[in-house]
Structure 1
Amino acid sequence: MILRAALFLILGLWTGAASAETDPAEAARAAAQMLEDASIALSEAESARDRVRALSDTVHAFEAGLAAMRDGLRRASAREGEIAARLKAREDEVSQLLGVLQTIETSPPPVLLLHPSGPLGAARSGMMLAEVTPELKAQVDRLARDLDEVRRLRALQQNAAETLQQGLTGIQQARADLSQAIADRTDLPRRFTEDPVRTAILVSSTETLDGFASGLSEIAEGEISETAANISSLKGELPLPVQGVLLRRAGQADAAGVTRAGILIATRPRALVSSPTAATIRYRGPLLDLGNVVILEPQADLLFVLSGLQEVYGKTGEVIPAGSPVGLMGGANQEIGAILSTSGDGSGTERSETLYIEIREGDRPVDPETWFRTDKDG
């Protein structure tokens, strides 16, 4: 059911892209391949871990596909507006052209051949008409192409609602299946087991992220096993945990003049957040004024703090593979009408959620852009 809805979505994307520009078509083909690969992996999954990975890829593919559709519709709407403005500017010219065509079509042949100057004038007039006719035909052809393109663009946008509904239904089902698969997963290694009482005491007794991070070792039942993991070679090359755009850099003041040590990523509602590398989940849950937080430890003395999620996945102490889902962003799924409207204005208001990312090396924060690639729009 998921794949069927997905393929329907991608077919709609190709149609939209063909009426606009090539970039959405390429994005749609990539999303289609992602969905196909995820479907194969899902059918071959033998463990809960494999199923989680395949469903994560499915959700990411849907996110990419819906983004490509929004882009294609935005371009289609802009193209329709461009053609409409051009036709409006040529309104008088088009009216005259239509008048000439109507005259040629309705006037009887003898009248067209008569000329006040006699046969010589008629001959000269015929020569002039022979020169004008190709240009007249070219204008008619251009007008016909413009009108035909407007019709195709409008048909695309009218059909988009049904295609979007298929895509939205598919991604909602994929998210639900993913959440269940994570709950069923029991085959991950664990470095420690969380003590919920100690965790609650630490959460209630700390007032800053610094204080909480320094007390993480206190929330375990017994000792936390050592790790030999080292991701230093990936520094500067890690993908962002979520598809989105960089909204605010480390140390950059917000509208209230407040600066933070991390970066802020603007995402679409319900976007999937994944671990950029293999890591231990050191904490998951509400914290301070940061909303739901996931703290990952890829290697000793290195913490990735992700905050602002609505749902968090996994269990504290688990060692998760790279790309594992750790939560979903908040917000409500957009209605179809809102998506189509957003596609038309290109304002970017569809990225209404924000993920805050802070990286701590030892006991101090460092600029996340030293670890993550932030130069691309997700």
Structure 2
Amino acid sequence: MWSPKPVPTMSVTATAVIRLGMSGNRMLATSLGLCIVVPLLILADGAHPAHATEIESADTSATVLEQEQRASRLELQSVADEADLAAKALSALESDIAALRADQQELDSKIAETASRRAELDQKIAAGEQSMTGLSERQDSVRLSLISRRSVLAEILAALQRIGRDPPPALLVTPEDALSSVRSAILLGAVVPEIRAETEALAADLKELASLRQAIAAERLSLASALERNAEEEQRLASLASEKTALQEESSRRLERERKRAEALSVRSNELESVITTLADEIVALKQAAEAARKVEQDRQRQLAEQLERARAFAAVAVPDKNRIMPAYAFSKLTGTLLLPTHGETVRYFGADDGAGHTLAGEVLATQKGATVSAPADGWIAYAGPFRSYGQVVIIDTGENHHVVLAGMEKIKVSAGRFVVAGEPLATMGQTRFAGSAALSLASERPTLYIEIRKDGQPVDPRSWWKDDMSSRKANNDT
């Protein structure tokens, strides 16, 4: 950056002017260079725009395709992993379905066994009911037999009761009752054995009937319990069968979904493999195109380097072209070769006291009235015009971040944006010194030209660039 300096140095405003002038003039020089063949330095600064764009585009496209290829490979790997998981899921589902079918067959077999047991129980219940019917009929017949002989039994029982209450008299004591006793004995002898037999048979029948009733009741309880267990088993088996059927249907649906998913993954895998193959072919083609363009560019650069070398060799021995729009030589290589902008006497040197308590950033040249000020080197006019009390100021951009500042002139013949060559008139000096130099304690009132050379925005000692020695810096009449 150009920092403010005491009189007669330049300020920050001039720095901004330099920057704007440099930008505008370089664009102007580039546009004019399209019509001139001589300045090969322009072409040597970089690659051909079309070739560079082609190479960069090919490299960029290849990089993009490689990224797409990597992404496709990652996606393919992911699809392959998903396909493996789908295959494992299919295998597991098929095993589950096979196990469910086996369980279903086992349940069907158990349901058949339960139905068979239910049939056997039903037969036992029917047989028990039939047995109970026979026993009930026999009980009824025994009851009817007893009812039919109730009168006889009543008489017998009455007689027995009478005998028990009033035993028969002894025959020897009361012979008048002997006939009644004989008759009673005959009747009892005829009836009692039959009653005893029937009573024993009835008792046996009643005992058998009671036993059968107990057996039938116990069988009924057993059959009822068996029927209940059989019903529970049937219900459990039916529930298991229904559950197994639902699981089998759900597994079948999942199996179908997994099969469709596996098919979709297979199709996607084939598509990705095709895309990867296509991208690989395109990448190879783009790399080959980029390599071919790079070889063409290298050949062109080599040819330009050869031409540039020939141009430099020619420039070393030939006089620069007056129609050039670029500096003929690098400014840093011109030390000890430049002529002063005008004839005169150096009255203040770089680093000396400027008379105001500061160090001088340039040098002051006392010249003649109306003297012509010329460009000391090729360059672009970065600024041309009045600046504060310094009079007319011209700033020349000589390239390589070097600037030559000339101040204290009266009339300027150039304008900003123009390219000037060494020795080209820039301005003329006035009649007296301007206020910018008033602080200097000079011995004469001659016009003074302030000269400053800057590199990277910092002032440097300009004496190393001048060709004239100290004895030649005398004032001459340039008119």
TM-score between both structures, scaled by the size of structure 1: 0.38
Q: Which has the higher helix share?
A: 2
Q: Which has the higher strand share?
A: 1
TM-score between both structures, scaled by the size of structure 2: 0.30
Query: More relative contact order in 1 or in 2 (CA 8 Å, sep 6+)?
Result: 2
